[in-house]
């Protein structure tokens, strides 16, 4: 789906501000840069009192996650609370969904309790847009991760992290390593990097974990980790998404680490000042060695911290857009 899809659904309002955030595909560069600047405003150093505000005072945010999550769900909750929203977390497995209530009836029930923003993670493609098409005009829907397709706030936090450490995108060589085929993180990263004009995007992994040929236009593909990270500025490591594969297709962990695991020796192929990213959760000893995950080039925990700032930025943008629509 683009910002405006052929069926007429748009995640933007008439003024070009976000009404929903389902995907980064098709978003305008100025809007993305505005969201990143807003997020940077909320970034605090470790140990500092985190940024707080009143932007969401009077708003209610509901988190509905039908797939497991630590980072995304917790950071949306913290982001909303730090901006003074009321927050409700619906554990779908303990909700009336298990008694047969439909997703839309669940949404309408919460909407009747004055929920203003739904954050939805779902394994089924299309659910977030479907919900966005059915909520009341004043209500927003934000994707917290949709199937293998989209994880827009992850894409934004990854872009923010690269911006903080590298200062820009034009000359950047970004290598994404691992299970790209099943990765919403990789798709949203490629979308935001395309919007921001990244210098070079490389995809590295075994053939069976590479995306179809028409996907990731412009990216170079590598089946060798050493070749793919040669002189890279950013090395983004992905988890193998076992939950999206048939058992028989899941690679053997030890064999995978042998070929594609990022070790300190392999990382020396990248630029000396290269940063190592991972969206989490990590499988140490499968896609990344602990010495790298915890090493000086790792910015993985900074990504987590930026996740709160980015989600504050998205929620405050939605609230401001709604206020100006009246
Ligand atoms: N990066 C990410 O989406 O992590 P969680 O699954 O823990 O939310």
CATH code at position 108 = 3.40.50.1370
Q: Rounded to an integer, what distance in angstroms lies between the CA atom of residue 38 and that of residue 14?
A: 21
pLDDT tens digits in sequence order for the chain, 326 residues long: 444 555 679 999 999 999 999 999 999 999 999 999 999 999 999 899 999 999 999 999 999 999 999 999 999 999 999 999 999 999 888 899 999 999 999 999 999 999 999 999 999 999 999 999 999 999 999 999 999 999 999 999 999 999 999 999 999 999 999 999 999 999 999 999 999 999 999 999 999 999 999 999 999 999 999 999 999 999 999 999 877 776 656 778 889 999 999 999 999 999 999 999 999 999 999 999 999 999 999 999 999 999 999 999 999 999 999 999 98
Cα dihedral value 309, 233, 21, 77, nearest 10: -30
Q: Is residue 20 part of a domain?
A: no
Ligand 1, atom 1: closest residue by C-alpha? 279
How far from each other are the two terminal CA atoms of the chain, in whole angstroms? 27
Exposure class string for 198-227: b at 16+ Cβ within 10 A, else e = bebbbbbbbeebbbeeeebeebeebeebee
Q: Which atom of ligand 1 is nearest to the CA of 67?
A: 6
Output the CA angle 93-121-12, nearest 5 degrees. Answer: 145
The pair of three-digit structure tokens given for residue 297, joined into one six-digit string: 């080039």
Return the pLDDT at 253: 87
Residues 197 and 141 in one domain: no
By most ligand atoms within 8 Å of CB, the mutation choice from 63, 64, 67, 72 for ligand 1 is: 72
Return the pLDDT at 92: 86
Ligand 1 mean position, distance from CA 7 (Å): 30
Return the pLDDT at 1: 47
269 CB burial (10 A radius; 0-12, 13-18, 19+): middle
The pair of three-digit structure tokens given for residue 260, joined into one six-digit string: 């594609």
Q: Is residue 13 part of a domain?
A: no
Look at residues 44, 103, 35 and name the one whose alpha carbon lies nearest to residue 78.
44
Residues 292 and 315 in one domain: no
Is any atom of ligand 1 closer than 6 Å to the C-beta of 69?
yes
Which residue stretches of the chain are H helix? 29-42, 71-82, 103-111, 127-134, 152-166, 184-196, 225-228, 253-260, 264-267, 290-293, 300-325
Is any atom of ligand 1 closer than 6 Å to the C-beta of 67?
no
Residues 165 and 142 in one domain: no
Ligand 1 mean position, distance from CA 307 (Å): 10
Q: Is residue 272 part of a domain?
A: yes
Q: Rounded to an integer, what distance in angstroms lies between the CA atom of residue 127 and that of residue 104?
A: 10
Paired strand residues for 53 = none
Cα dihedral value 146, 323, 110, 60, nearest 10: 90
Residues 142 and 162 in one domain: no
* Residue 62 contacts residue 88 (beta carbons within 8 Å): yes
Q: Is residue 255 part of a domain?
A: yes
Ligand 1, atom 6: closest residue by C-alpha? 69
Exposure class string for 135-144: b at 16+ Cβ within 10 A, else e = beeebbbbbb
Residues 157 and 290 in one domain: yes
Is any atom of ligand 1 closer than 6 Å to the C-beta of 155?
no
Residues 113 and 187 in one domain: no
| Domain, as residue range, for 245 | 152-301
At 223, give phi and psi (nearest 5°): -105, 0
Q: Is residue 21 part of a domain?
A: no
By most ligand atoms within 8 Å of CB, the mutation choice from 63, 69, 144, 287 for ligand 1 is: 69
Residues 145 and 157 in one domain: no
Residues 118 and 213 in one domain: no
Q: Which atom of ligand 1 is nearest to the CA of 307?
A: 1
């Amino acid at each position: 789906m683009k910002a405006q899809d052929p069926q007429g659904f748009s995640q933007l309002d008439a003024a070009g501000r976000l009404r929903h955030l389902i995907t980064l595909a098709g978003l305008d560069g100025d809007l993305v840069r505005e969201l990143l600047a807003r997020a940077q405003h909320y970034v605090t150093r470790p140990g500092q009192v985190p940024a707080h505000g009143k932007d969401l005072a009077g708003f209610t945010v509901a988190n509905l996650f039908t797939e497991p999550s630590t980072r995304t769900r917790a950071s949306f909750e913290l982001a909303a609370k730090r901006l003074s929203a009321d927050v409700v977390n619906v554990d779908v497995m303990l909700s009336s969904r298990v008694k047969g209530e439909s997703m839309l009836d669940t949404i309408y029930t919460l909407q009747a309790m004055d929920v203003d923003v739904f954050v939805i993670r779902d394994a089924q493609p299309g659910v977030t847009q479907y919900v966005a098409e059915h909520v009341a005009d004043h209500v927003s829907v934000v994707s917290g991760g949709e199937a293998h397709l989209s994880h827009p706030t992850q894409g934004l936090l990854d872009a923010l992290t690269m911006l903080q450490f590298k200062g820009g995108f034009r000359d950047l060589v970004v290598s994404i390593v691992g299970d790209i085929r099943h990765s919403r993180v990789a798709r949203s990263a490629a979308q935001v990097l395309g919007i921001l004009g990244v210098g070079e995007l490389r995809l590295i992994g075994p053939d069976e974990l590479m995306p179809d040929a028409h996907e990731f236009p412009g990216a170079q593909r590598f089946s060798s980790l050493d070749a793919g990270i040669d002189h890279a500025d950013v090395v983004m490591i992905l988890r193998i998404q076992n939950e999206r594969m048939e058992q028989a297709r899941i690679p053997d962990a030890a064999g995978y680490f042998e070929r594609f695991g990022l070790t300190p020796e392999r990382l020396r192929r990248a630029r000396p000042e290269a940063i190592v990213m991972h969206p989490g959760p990590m499988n140490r000893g499968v896609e990344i060695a602990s010495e790298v995950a915890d090493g000086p080039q790792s910015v993985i925990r900074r990504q987590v911290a930026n996740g709160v700032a980015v989600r504050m930025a998205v929620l405050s943008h939605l609230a401001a857009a709604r206020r100006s629509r009246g």
